[in-house]
Amino acid sequence: MKNNKLNISVAGSGKTTYLVDKALSLDKSNKILIVTYTTDNLEEIQKKILAKRKLIPSNITIQGWFSFLLQHGVRPYQGAMNDMLFENYINGMLLINENSSFKKDSRGNIIKNRAGYPISYGESDFRDFYFTKNWKIYSDKISKFVVACNDKVKGEIISRISRIYSHIFIDEVQDLAGYDLEIIKLLFKSNIEIRLVGDPRQVTYLTNHYRKYPKYKYGKIKEFIQNKCKNFIDKDTIDETLLKKSHRNNQAICDYSSKLYTKLEKSEPCDCKICRSNITEHEGVFLIRPENVNKYLEKFKPTQLIWDKLTKVNTLYPVINFGKSKGKTYERVIIYPTESIRKWICNNQSDLKDATKAKFYVALTRAKHSVAIVYDYKEDEQFEGVQKYSM
């Protein structure tokens, strides 16, 4: 059996560096594709390779997930899906964050039936189901198109990819959803060596919101591989230990952030001398009252992390939202929590929606030294894993 691999990582574990090093270590006779979802991570992969090599090696290709699907999944055999595609060029992709199937009027408003429910195009409405008026394929339909087309050409799409690449590495695999997971399954079944790397706790974006495999959304990639790819894996396929040490977070931050995902392996701080050489007087996770925020900002100069732009902040200090901070490292941060996050701080058994939990985890794990959370605590309140900060 070929050596397919899923590496479950934690924040700050150096997963992208690991993936890059793995790709660079392979013999140049191997053709390697490195794929990721976000533009930021695509650029990060390129930077890491260029830091080690003067040029991107000729045997390594770096590509975004949607670009990969369009080039290798959609275009090679597009005519097999419908005769219209023998005559019309697919003019790229339209990135959307909603269901593209809803019918709309000339002003762009969703058309609803008498009961008030949106009316959708069906697959029999081929062009309107998959494409815009100028033949851009909808981002939430692109992986479904690839899977359907691969069926029509009897697996030739995946076979063609396997003739081009011997290895495919997918970073940020936790972001994949819906029919993207079916493509993962098809790749696992092929003779390509597949390596997936991702942190199930950091699902701040999803490639689509299609109803395929709904139980595996929001970071359930391990369960998907175990249940849906079980015929193509062995006991060593899934690894949860190699990338469980953070080169960013200290012990207190690792412990507190791990409370959000108790079913996953706890993260641990690494013991690298270079990472742990600069211990400061202010280390850990703290609650800070709103009236003390400005003085705290002045003293420690943390980066402010917010849910959205409606949050009131001190504009004299840097600010970024939870989702945008993904992949970044700061010396210190201060978090302005939402109401549901405040409830969780008060009671760690309180439910958080998957998206909220993931973004809060990202926010908690950005700092090397200290995390402050704005929270109007009472003197007699007790909190586990977090200290009350007073000026």
Digitized pLDDT (tens) for each residue of the chain, 391 residues in all: 578 999 999 999 999 999 999 999 999 999 999 999 888 899 999 999 999 998 999 999 999 999 999 999 999 999 999 999 999 999 999 998 777 778 887 777 888 888 888 888 888 899 999 999 999 999 999 999 999 999 999 999 999 999 999 999 999 999 898 999 999 999 999 999 999 999 999 988 777 767 788 899 888 999 999 999 999 999 899 999 999 999 999 999 999 999 999 999 899 999 898 888 888 889 999 999 999 999 999 999 999 999 999 999 999 999 999 999 998 999 999 999 999 999 999 999 999 999 999 999 999 999 999 999 999 998 888 898 999 988 7
Q: Please report the pLDDT score of residue 102 as a whole number.
A: 80
**pLDDT attached to residue 96:** 86
Give the β-pairing of 60-64 and 319-321: unpaired
CB contact set of 172 (below 8 Å; sequence gap of 6+): 36, 37, 38, 41, 197, 198, 202
Angstrom distance (rounded) from CA 51 to CA 34:
17
pLDDT of residue 214: 87
Q: Which residues, listed in sequence order, are joined to residue 62 by a DSSP beta bridge?
A: 34
* CA distances (Å), origin 99, targets 12, 25, 129, 197, 209: 33, 42, 10, 28, 8
What was the pLDDT predicted at 174? 92
Place of tokens 């609803």: 112
Give the whole-angstrom CA distance, residue 365 versus residue 357: 12
**Measured between alpha carbons, how far is residue 130 from residues 68, 101, 133, 181, 210 in Å?**
17, 8, 10, 19, 13
- Three-state secondary structure of the chain: CCCCEEEEECCCCCHHHHHHHHHHHCCCCCCEEEEECCHHHHHHHHHHHHHHCCCCCCCEEEEEHHHHHHHHHHCCCHHHCCCHHHHCCCCCEECCCCCCCECECCCCCECECCCCCECECCCCCHHHHHECCCCCEECCCHHHHHHHHHHHCCCHHHHHHHHHCCEEEECCHHHCCCHHHHHHHHHHHCCCEEEEEECCCCCCCCCCCCCCCHHHCCCCHHHHHHHHCHHHCCCCCEEEEEECEECCCCHHHHHHHHCCCCCCCCCEECCCCCCCCCCCCCCEEEEECHHHHHHHHHHHCCEEEECCCCCCCCCCCCEEECHHHCCCCEEEEEECCCHHHHHHHHCCCCCCCHHHHHHHHHHHCCEEEEEEEECCCCCCCCCCCCEEECC
pLDDT in tens, 175-200: 898 999 999 999 999 999 999 999 99
pLDDT at 1: 54
What phi and psi, each to the nearest 5 degrees, are found at residue 202? -110, 45
Contacts of 46 (CB under 8 A, 6+ apart): 56, 62
Q: How far apart are CA 71 and CA 239, in angstroms?
A: 31
User: Structure tokens of 21?
Assistant: 């090093």
Between CA 25 and CA 129 the distance in angstroms is 43
CA distance 80 to 73: 12
Q: Provide the pLDDT for residue 87.
A: 93
Euclidean distance between the first and final Cα of the chain, in Å?
A: 60
Domain architecture of the chain: domains with CATH: 5-70+142-243 (3.40.50.300), 246-389 (3.40.50.300)
Beta bridge partners of 333: 303, 371
348 close to 386: Cβ distance less than 8 angstroms = no
